[in-house]
Amino acid sequence: MTSLLDKMARRREELARGGLLRQRCCFAAAPGRERLLHPVAQAQATGKPLLDFAANDYLGLARHPKVISALAKGAEIYGCGSGASPLVSGYSEAHLKLEQGLCRALGAEAALLFSCGFAANTALMKTLFSAEDTVIADKLVHASMIDGLRDSKAKIRRFAHNDMAAATALLARHPGSAVLTETVFSMDGDRAPLGKLSHLCQEHGSPLILDDAHGFGLFESSSLPVFARLVTFGKALGGQGAAIVGSQELIDYLVANAREYIYSTALSPACCMGVLEALELIQQEPLLERLNANIALFRRSCQAAGISLMPSESPIQPLLVGESGKCMALAARLLERGFLVGAIRPPTVPQGSARLRITLSAEHREQDILALASALTELIA
């Protein structure tokens, strides 16, 4: 036990020295404003609420009255949890209806629900692939895909980010291999050339697997012939959980073989009812229009102030800082001014590319966005 505790202490000190030690921050919602948070832990106490520019609730559906009402109704019907794994007694009508709703939205045959996106991605990789397989992946695919592929023992061949020439060369050497990419990349905020990748995969008879976590509900890609698609509920849908969407054959295979699905308690039925309501709302309300207006306003304001953002049309607006300590200091100064933003450091991003990950929402008001741009201008100038 002593040697293990020593190992833990050494690792903690190593991370702290490099400015890479991760610690949790506790926040409470501020009543009356959806994008305000009150710091709870003393380390984050600033004496005033914070404008939240760190969450992934892009369309502001997490606190939409209709979503809350649907989730509450689900709790009244089913209780707090599901009570068992999906293959025992945990699969309810609420799960079925959400799967069907996702299939309608994406024009797919079947869907399978998981507790989170990380579990869904690792399950998909570990269940589909083995040591005999070669998988081709964009350099920046999510850690959940990489971890699942490592567990599967498959050979991973990675092409430079969004580099079609490199992807083409790899597929020429490994025809028929699955290709992995994302719709919107979570740390850069840019989009994959999905049309070109889809055409390339069809030419080589290769299945295209799409991590649509940050793109679903924001960018249309349902017409693409995708072998498997990951959808998460914690981004545009404002909920919790995830799904793999694809053919009935794929989903039946996962039900019978995916250990993360077989041996996990099913997602809460109440949560499913809330997500299903959110899924209907994104097709009815002008939430995306408001979000896109906020993105355009923020980028215009930064450009006018001479602030260089990374190229992104998505709600993820990264500001490259470089050194981890400098990035953390800038985030801390923004916190003092009432703005909560993500400070992203290695190993999430490569060494020397630490950044502020500013995320915008349909809920942000114009004055919120202009105030953040003004604060950035003062701190960076």
In the residue annotation, 97 being an active-site residue is answered as no
- Whether the bond into 347 is cis, omega within 30 of 0: yes
| Rounded distance between C-alpha atoms, residue 381 and residue 377, angstroms | 6
For residue 95, the number of C-alpha atoms closer than 13 Å in the C-beta half-sphere is 24
Q: Which of 95, 214, 260, 368 is catalytic?
A: 214
| Active-site pick, 82, 115, 177, 186 | 186
Query: Is 13 among the residues known to form the active site?
Result: no
Residue 320 tokens, joined: 């490259």
From the candidates 235, 277, 312, 314, give the one annotated as an active-site residue.
Answer: 235
Q: Crossing angle, helix 65-78 and helix 269-281, to 10 degrees?
A: 150
The residue from 211, 212, 260, 363 that is catalytic is: 211
292 part of the active site: no
Q: Residue 333 and residue 345: Cα distance in Å, rounded?
A: 17
Residue of 52, 99, 182, 190 marked catalytic: 182
Annotated catalytic, 235? yes
Q: Which amino acid is at 190?
A: D
Does residue 56 have an active-site annotation?
yes
Integer Cα distance of 29 and 338 in angstroms = 14
The sign one gets for the Cα dihedral 287, 233, 145, 136 is: negative
Q: Which candidate in 56, 115, 162, 221 is catalytic?
A: 56
Active site annotation includes 186 = yes
Strands 50-53 and 242-246: unpaired
| Catalytic one of 142, 198, 268, 364 | 142
Positions marked active-site: 56, 142, 182, 186, 211, 214, 235
